[in-house]
Amino acid sequence: MSQVIVTGAASGIGRACAEVLVAEGHHVALWDLVPEVLDVAAGLGMTGQIVDVTGDLDAPVAVAAETLGGLSGLVHAAGRVAVEPVGAFTAASWDAVLDVNLRAHALLVQAMLPWLQKATNASVVAISSIEGLAANPFIPAYCASKAGLLGLTRSMAAQLGPEGIRVNSVCPGFIITPMIQPALDIDEIRIGFEQAAPLGRMGQPVEIAHAVAFLLSDKASFITGTELVVDGGLICKH
Ligand code: NAD
């Protein structure tokens, strides 16, 4: 049994992670910027918290720890993307992507540390992306944030391993969620996404959630400092 914060839990991958973790018997605090998270949490019989992960984290972490009776896990699924090639992004739009995707993960682990240090089988999972492993010319800030998560994962795993805290990332391929819906609305792009992976389709959020649940579980007790690619084989092709 674990006590897990899931960010980005109102939608897509974060919501699926919360659903799978609750089904497996974990206690989950569902966090999101949008109030819909309260309904999702209520539907699961869990606590919802409206939290902007770019803001203060100490107070909401303390609330989650109090409500759940401790904290042993984190799934950082909150994320944003900006289709802004070099020449288009601004300092502000760059920061907006990096702050949610990367900086928030570091600061959230920091805020949770006193509880993670007390927990048994403490485990942290960041939702990175195949865009952190391979080039996408249209979303440089997003690629930088997702590659940054992989470096951050390795650094935190090296530091926190001696305390029994495992730190890993999951790298999804193309997953059908609201984040990529604008691209899916364009037939040519949707068909390209479907055909890009050897498995010949895009993924469902629950298929990422099962990988996350594995990394959080004690079945992954010797796995830390690495990433699990869940992409239908997309990046193994050249
Ligand atoms: P989504 O848009 O369905 O969900 C993202 C959630 O993050 C939303 O509910 C949003 O409100 C929340 N969020 C955004 N900014 C926030 C903030 N400042 N504070 C708190 N919550 C905030 O998208 P998704 O596809 O489910 O994305 C989940 C994660 O998966 C993201 O990190 C995304 O980069 C990553 N990812 C998605 C795909 C894909 O193909 N969908 C592929 C690889 C990685």
Alpha helices per DSSP H over the chain: 12-23, 36-44, 58-68, 91-98, 104-118, 140-160, 181-184, 187-196, 205-216
Expressed in angstroms and rounded, the spacing between residue 78 Cα and the centre of ligand 1 is: 4
Secondary structure element (H or E) that encloses residue 5, with its range:
strand 3-7
Number of H helices, E strands in the chain: 9, 7
Q: Are 70 and 29 in contact (CB under 8 A)?
A: no
- Active site (annotated) includes residue 5: no
Average pLDDT rounded to a whole number, residues 10-17 = 98
End-to-end Cα separation, the chain, in angstroms:
41
pLDDT tens for each residue of 98-132: 999 999 999 999 999 999 999 999 999 999 999 99
Q: Which atom of ligand 1 is nearest to the CA of 172?
A: 43
Pocket of ligand 1 contains residue 148 by CB under 6 Å = no
Q: Would you say how long the chain is, in residues?
A: 238
Pocket of ligand 1 contains residue 109 by CB under 6 Å = no
Pocket of ligand 1 contains residue 79 by CB under 6 Å = yes
Expressed in angstroms and rounded, the spacing between residue 219 Cα and the centre of ligand 1 is: 26
31, 89, 115, 142: the active-site residue? 142
Tokens of 69: 């009776």
pLDDT tens for each residue of 57-104: 999 999 999 999 999 999 999 999 999 999 999 999 999 999 999 999
Expressed in angstroms and rounded, the spacing between residue 11 Cα and the centre of ligand 1 is: 7
Pocket of ligand 1 contains residue 12 by CB under 6 Å = yes
Per-chain mean pLDDT for the chain: 97
**Could you write out the DSSP letters of every residue in 12-31?**
HHHHHHHHHHHHTT-EEEEE
Pocket of ligand 1 contains residue 145 by CB under 6 Å = no
73-76 β-sheet, strand order: 47-50, 27-32, 3-7, 73-76, 122-127, 165-172, 227-230
- The rounded distance, in Å, linking the Cα atoms of 191 and 109 is 38
